[in-house]
Amino acid sequence: MLAKITQSKTLHWLGRQLSNSEDPRAFFDPLTAAMNPMWVQQYTPARVERITAETADTKTFELRPANRWGGFKAGQHLNIRIDIQGVRRTRTFSLSSSPALWESRGLITLTIKRLPGGLVTNWLHDDLKAGDVIGLTEAFGDFLIPVEKKPVLFIAGGSGITPILSQLETMALGNYPEPVTLLYYVRTPNDVIGKEKLAALAARHPDFSLDVITTHESSTPRYLNDHDLDSIPNLAAREIYLCGPKGLMDLATEKLRQRDIKAEQLHSTFFAPPAPAQISSSDIGGQVTFSASNLSVDSIGDANLLEMAEAAGLTPQHGCRMGICHQCTCTKTSGTVVNRLTGQVSGPGSESVQLCISIPQGPVALDI
């Protein structure tokens, strides 16, 4: 064992010396990717096996990740990595299939809704074809079904159903012994995702009750109300899982608190896509977090990120202070920034930004 570790450490060291890269695998990837994209080592490649339509704006993508992918637990998500117009984009999506499908057949599914104006979701819907290869990270997230068997309530809205589909299927396969209820809010009956799967589960498992609530079928929207919660038997004893748009999550959390549901019983996962950024002077500024230094500062948009970091006492590497030398380029881990030179707005995910010409647009986190 020890020999193995030393050996791999030595090999890794040797790889670094020879390839000039912290990740020696990067040396061969450009060649192997051209021969067979499934041989790439820097991330897990996954081949698109099949794409099926769930609703008018939602599709399920069946993927076959390379064997070495580590698997997942029901309710987790992963990042996909794709190149659009030469730019690498990373986005997070929930796994909608059960881990059993991965274990038995090496397949996983992502169920993805097309967002209005969304760069990545629209690309996935319009340009990704069966046979293509995309990149994946390992799965992560702690939106997990209870280890200790307890009654469960799922509250889902729209495409927030996707991790819950995986959880329900997993519970059904394991013959979950407690009652499980799903309150599923959709705009119209046409917007139900996983319709057949849900119906089949409800038909086969008497302990699973399904309540699909349409919110936009009458002139006034019908959102989650007290009656919905009051009708759940033994609500106080349940583990509750929330996934959906922010409005639904806030409303449900508020009403559950009023019913003295403890915070430990409540599990939620974020599912609000960032709104497409607009360029206007009014929405500039926001809290900037320097995560590596554990510092946060507020900004009103009158200073660039480099000036703000320095005002906060940090000394990030920098050079010309006019966007030429890229000495100050660092990784923004979340939030959007505006490029002062071009007026261009960055994406919301992780990417490189030049501190000296970037202005925050809303909350921003930087890896310095």
Partner 1 sequence: MNTLNEQQLNELQKDLDTIRDEVLADLGERDANHIRSMVRLHRKLEIGGRVLMPFGFIPPVFLAATASLGLAKILENMEIGHNVMHGQYDWMNDPSLNSQTYEWDTACSSESWRRTHNFEHHTYTNVIGKDRDYGYAVLRLSNDEPWRPRHTFQILNYAALSILFQWGVALHELEAEKLSHGKSHLKEKRPFLKLAAKKAGRQAFKDYVFFPVLTLPVAPIVLAGNAVANLIRNLWSSTVIFCGHFTQDAETFTEEQAEGESKGHWYLRQLTGSSNFTGGKWLHIMSGHLSFQIEHHVFPDLPAHRYPEISEKVQKVCQKHGIHYNTGSFGKQYGTVLKRILRHSLPERITRRPAVA
Residue 292 in contact with partner 1, rule: CB under 8 A: no
The CA distance from 199 to 217, in Å, is 21
Q: Of these, 4, 5, 22, 104, which contacts partner 1 (CB under 8 A)?
A: 22
Total chain residues near partner 1 (CB under 8 A): 37
Q: Of these, 5, 56, 86, 315, which contacts partner 1 (CB under 8 A)?
A: 86
Nearer to partner 1, 90 or 253 (CB): 90
Q: Of these, 1, 34, 56, 263, which contacts partner 1 (CB under 8 A)?
A: 34
Nearer to partner 1, 315 or 342 (CB): 342
**Looking at beta carbons, which pairs linking 217-225 to residues 24 or more positions away fall under 8 Å?**
217/188, 223/185, 223/247, 223/248, 223/251, 224/155, 224/183, 224/185, 224/248, 224/251, 224/252, 224/255
Nearer to partner 1, 12 or 16 (CB): 16
Phi and psi at 61, nearest 5°, equal -105, 115
Cβ pair 301, 354 in contact under 8 A: no
The least distance separating partner 1 from the CB of residue 345, rounded to whole angstroms, comes to 13
The least distance separating partner 1 from the CB of residue 77, rounded to whole angstroms, comes to 20
CA atoms within 13 A on the CB side of 282: 1
Q: Of these, 7, 11, 18, 237, which contacts partner 1 (CB under 8 A)?
A: 18
Q: Of these, 15, 29, 39, 340, which contacts partner 1 (CB under 8 A)?
A: 29
The CA distance from 63 to 73, in Å, is 16
What x-and-dash track marks residues 310-329 binding partner 1 by CB under 8 A?
---------xx-xxxxxx-x
The least distance separating partner 1 from the CB of residue 90, rounded to whole angstroms, comes to 8
Q: Of these, 88, 105, 149, 222, which contacts partner 1 (CB under 8 A)?
A: 88
The least distance separating partner 1 from the CB of residue 339, rounded to whole angstroms, comes to 9
The CA distance from 193 to 244, in Å, is 13
Residue 253 in contact with partner 1, rule: CB under 8 A: no
The CA distance from 28 to 23, in Å, is 10
Phi and psi at 36, nearest 5°, equal -155, 110
Q: Of these, 8, 21, 225, 258, which contacts partner 1 (CB under 8 A)?
A: 21
Cβ pair 135, 66 in contact under 8 A: no
Which region among 1-9, 28-36, 132-140, 299-307 touches partner 1 (by CB under 8 A)? 28-36
Residue 123 in contact with partner 1, rule: CB under 8 A: no
Cβ pair 93, 78 in contact under 8 A: yes
Q: What does 237-257 look like in DSSP terms, one character per residue?
A: G-EEEEES-HHHHHHHHHHHH
Which residue ranges make up the site for partner 1 (CB under 8 A)? 14, 16-18, 20-23, 26-31, 34, 42, 83, 85-90, 319-320, 322-327, 329-330, 342, 351-352, 354
